Amino acid sequence: MPRIGLRHLKTHASEVMRDVEENRARYVITNRGEPVAVIVPFASTDEVGRQSKEEAWQEFLQVRERIGEAQTGPFSAVELMRELRR
């Protein structure tokens, strides 16, 4: 996703929005180099399609599996969450 500064967005808002609308582009908006927002094209539920509860749960389980496979640190996700809650 391309990053654009807040000042650039202010001066080129029409161009950015046209790109989002016509090309389905996505942008990360930064303020002083730090990401603060994301502009994404709007998608109605008709475009996205609805999932059943079972389909959503299966997708969640697949994502969980991929995250577990990608873990390279010495701590498990459960251990990290416990530490964050302290």
Identify whether residues 80 and 54 lie together within a single domain: yes
Token pair of 29 as six digits:
């908006």
Please check whether residues 78 and 54 belong to one and the same domain.
Answer: yes
What's the distance, Cα to Cα, between the start and end of the chain in Å?
34
Domain extent, residue 76, equals 50-85
pLDDT of 32 reads: 92
Whole-model pTM? 0.52
Q: What is the pLDDT of residues 21-35, one digit of tens each?
A: 999 999 999 999 999
CA 34 from centroid of its chain's CA atoms: 16
Look at residue 44 and tell me if it is in a domain. no
Q: Domain check: are 8 and 35 in the same one?
A: yes
Question: What CA–CA distance (Å, rounded) separates 29 from 6?
Answer: 6
Q: Is residue 63 part of a domain?
A: yes
Round to whole Å and give the CA distance between 6 and 37: 10
